[in-house]
Amino acid sequence: MILLLSIFLQIFLFFAPNNVYAIQGSLDLSSAQTSVGKRFAKVFCDAKNEGLDSEFASEYALNNTYLKFVAFPDDDQYLNDLWEFTSNNILDNCGDKININDLKELEIFFKEEGIIASNRELYLPTFENN
């Protein structure tokens, strides 16, 4: 049993990063809403419900979702639509725990992280084989 689990884990770790990058180019809005927006809202609201402030909750949500791993299309409307979906989920699930200023700051944070994810090659160092 342990051997089987070990083999499965090795296979998963080998293929998982490739699968995330494979969906980057064709991530439609409905997929992003499900895999990123809904998950971000859930994790953010879980953190808020535990009593964390909005700044820490947003960082926690970023580090526990796919937001920083999936490259979105370089399209402002795409990010606006994804944010609208995400913010509606947040308001539905924990709107009583945040105020309008928190939501505005979270929107800026969310969109900045989306832009960074969309332009990952500008932010990450490249390594060349010598």
Domain residues of the chain, as ranges?
Answer: 29-120
Q: Is the pTM of this model over 0.75?
A: no
HSE (side-chain half, CA atoms, 13 Å) at 77: 1
Q: Of residues 78 and 9, which shows the higher confidence score?
A: 78
Tens of pLDDT, residues 52-76: 999 999 999 998 888 877 777 878 8
